[in-house]
Homo-oligomer: A and B are copies of this chain.
Amino acid sequence: MRGMRRIGFFSIILLISVAIHADAQAPAGLSPETEACIACHQSVTPGIVADWSRSRMGRTSPREALSKPPMNRRMSADKAPLPETVVGCAECHMLNPDTHRDTFEHQGFRVHTVVTPGDCAVCHPVERDQFDHNLMSRAYGNLMENPVYLSLVTAINGSMTLTDRQLRHVTPDDMTNADACLRCHGTKLTVEEKPVTRDTAMGEMDFPVIQGWPNRGSGRLNPDDTRGNCAACHSRHRFSIEMARKPDTCSECHKGPDVPAYKVYDVSKHGNIYRSLSVSDGWDFNAVPWTVGEDFAAPTCASCHVSMIASPEGEILAERTHRMNDRLAWRIFGLPYAHPHPKSPDTTFIRNKDGLALPTAFDGTPAATFLISKDEMAKRNRIMKGVCGACHSTGWTDGHFRRFEQTIETTNANTLAATQILMRGWEEGIIPGPAAGDSPFNDPLERKWVEQWLFFANSTRYASAMMGADYGVFANGRWYMSKNAHEMLESLKIKAGLPPEGE
């Protein structure tokens, strides 16, 4: 019934659309292809057409974008295929049709569903290249092609069945992985051979079926063989810098107990200033470069990790980067220990001294060959401190970093204590471990060990890095790190048949 009404409606729109074309009175700057898209899609998916029409891309031609001084440009290519044309639907969804396995015939056009970094790179090659060197662009492979992590994925996502005395996990199906880890890590998008035919308001149409779709993960494997997803942060169809600079964007993936960066930020002084004053003081989240003291008064995630930051006098305090560890010496996301950042964004070929694909060994030894050098760490710290220095004295910043590195040391020590408990269980044959060919992630004791580094040590380090108080103590911090280790020891004693004597 509703479908019927729609068809009538669409016919009118089509007529108008045809009329516009016939008259050649196109709104300035839109390509005819984009006009054709809009003619229907303003009825079919009005929300995204409206989004796009509010976006900067929807109002700006490459020539206009390039008319700005280099420092104020949002575009890093020095030319674009259609310099006078506003960037509309067709300019992205019809780009590079031959590289896209998801390209399909649609109302006379060759259209693809998934716009990829390969498409964005036509105008933003520098940013795409930076992001391609970012760990986040490899988030799919770094997880799914590492046998250690893959056994963790199975222990989490694989459905359980109870046998007589054990819980068995099946290998998780693709949809479950897509619904879990891969929502942030990105799915592998594959186009099925056979399209689906749908009865639409415009009559029957064929559409490609894409396994792994929808997905907004940062390390997505795309149908044009590119990696990553610019829209993870620059959300469709506004593609805005404003949104990418606001911490809510990062919270989509960085709020869980494993990586509580947003939570910590939110209770930090920086987060408080952002929440309390950014609206009433009218901060400008769109300015390029982003000028501290003029456009904003406290950092968001992007200020410290991504954006080009300028002083009011026009000095660049930090260059823009989409390789988000450019300003980070330490990878505080412990695997299982905090360690210097990996040299390469592809971490699958890292081997620790025990031959496992982990950046540190169970005893804490870093896989140093694969990690950045002390010099590189010093350089990255210097860049980060340049951002801090916009508001903080050297004494303040040095004190902060000294304390932060002490916390890296003590959280690693507390991870070691927990690991020693676990290894005793493995060595004494109380629970089967990797040496016995078993997953290190299935026994309850092993799972407590995972929480020691993945939740509690991580939380404590994030809290230290951004001064978010309770995440270093009672909110998944040191309280839990310490409680958990004591419980692990007690559990090991019970499993070993020893009396769990009091402490």
A256→B159 CA distance, assembly (Å): 25
A442→B293 CA distance, assembly (Å): 47
Which residues of chain B come closer than 8 Å to A176, judged between CB atoms? 406-407, 410
State whether the Cβ of A48 lies closer than 8 Å to any Cβ in chain B: yes
Known: A183-B472, A280-B242, A469-B183. A395 touches B209 (CB 8 A): yes
Quick check: which of A72-80, A116-124, A246-254, A350-358 contacts chain B, the rest being far away? A246-254
A253 near B474: Cβ-Cβ < 8 Å = no
Which residues of chain B come closer than 8 Å to A304, judged between CB atoms? none
A361 to chain B, nearest CB (A): 17
State whether the Cβ of A500 lies closer than 8 Å to any Cβ in chain B: yes
State whether the Cβ of A2 lies closer than 8 Å to any Cβ in chain B: yes
Which residues of chain B come closer than 8 Å to A313, judged between CB atoms? 9, 42-43, 46
State whether the Cβ of A455 lies closer than 8 Å to any Cβ in chain B: yes
A478→B158 CA distance, assembly (Å): 9
Interface centre among A160, A161, A255, A420 (most CB of B within 10 A): A160
State whether the Cβ of A275 lies closer than 8 Å to any Cβ in chain B: yes
Q: Mark A349-388, 1 if CB is under 8 A from B, else 0.
A: 0000000000000000000000000000000000000100
A462→B337 CA distance, assembly (Å): 32
Known: A420-B162, A495-B500. A483 touches B271 (CB 8 A): no
B167 near A214: Cβ-Cβ < 8 Å = no
State whether the Cβ of A68 lies closer than 8 Å to any Cβ in chain B: no
A3 to chain B, nearest CB (A): 10
Please give me the residue from chain B that is nearest to A54 by CB atom: B281
Quick check: which of A27-35, A129-137, A324-332, A396-404 contacts chain B, the rest being far away? A396-404
A25→B490 CA distance, assembly (Å): 74
A58→B280 CA distance, assembly (Å): 18
A159 near B2: Cβ-Cβ < 8 Å = no
State whether the Cβ of A445 lies closer than 8 Å to any Cβ in chain B: yes
- A65-123 contacts to B, CB under 8 A, are 113
A241 to chain B, nearest CB (A): 11
A100→B368 CA distance, assembly (Å): 46
A5 to chain B, nearest CB (A): 7
Which residues of chain B come closer than 8 Å to A155, judged between CB atoms? 482
Which residues of chain B come closer than 8 Å to A169, judged between CB atoms? 482
A445→B402 CA distance, assembly (Å): 35
A208→B393 CA distance, assembly (Å): 12
Which residues of chain B come closer than 8 Å to A499, judged between CB atoms? 495, 497
A40 to chain B, nearest CB (A): 12
B253 near A390: Cβ-Cβ < 8 Å = no
A240→B485 CA distance, assembly (Å): 43
Which residues of chain B come closer than 8 Å to A50, judged between CB atoms? 292-294, 297, 312
State whether the Cβ of A216 lies closer than 8 Å to any Cβ in chain B: yes
Partner of A267, one of B252, B297, B455: B252
A204 to chain B, nearest CB (A): 13
The count of residues in chain A whose C-beta lies closer than 8 Å to any C-beta of chain B is 147
A413 near B207: Cβ-Cβ < 8 Å = no
Q: Mark A171-185, 1 if CB is under 8 A from B, else 0.
A: 001011011110110
- A40-61 contacts to B, CB under 8 A, are 42-51, 54
Known: A272-B251, A503-B432. A485 touches B312 (CB 8 A): no
State whether the Cβ of A346 lies closer than 8 Å to any Cβ in chain B: no
State whether the Cβ of A479 lies closer than 8 Å to any Cβ in chain B: yes
State whether the Cβ of A141 lies closer than 8 Å to any Cβ in chain B: no
State whether the Cβ of A238 lies closer than 8 Å to any Cβ in chain B: yes
State whether the Cβ of A279 lies closer than 8 Å to any Cβ in chain B: yes
Please give me the residue from chain B that is nearest to A172 by CB atom: B410
Partner of A179, one of B160, B216, B464: B464
A47 near B297: Cβ-Cβ < 8 Å = yes
Q: Give 16 A-B pairs besides A42-B312, A167-B417, A214-B399 with Cβ atoms closer than 8 angstroms.
A: A43-B313, A45-B390, A48-B391, A54-B297, A159-B414, A160-B417, A161-B417, A162-B489, A180-B478, A207-B394, A209-B395, A235-B273, A243-B276, A443-B486, A495-B500, A497-B499
- Identify 29 residue pairs between A and B in the complex whose beta-carbon atoms are under 8 Å apart, listed by A's number: A6-B315, A42-B313, A46-B292, A47-B292, A50-B293, A160-B413, A160-B417, A162-B420, A165-B489, A175-B403, A179-B472, A208-B395, A209-B395, A210-B399, A214-B400, A216-B467, A238-B277, A240-B277, A248-B276, A249-B272, A249-B276, A253-B470, A256-B470, A257-B475, A431-B502, A444-B487, A444-B490, A455-B474, A495-B499
- The 8 closest A-B CB pairs, nearest first, are A431-B502, A50-B293, A256-B470, A47-B391, A248-B275, A160-B417, A443-B503, A183-B469
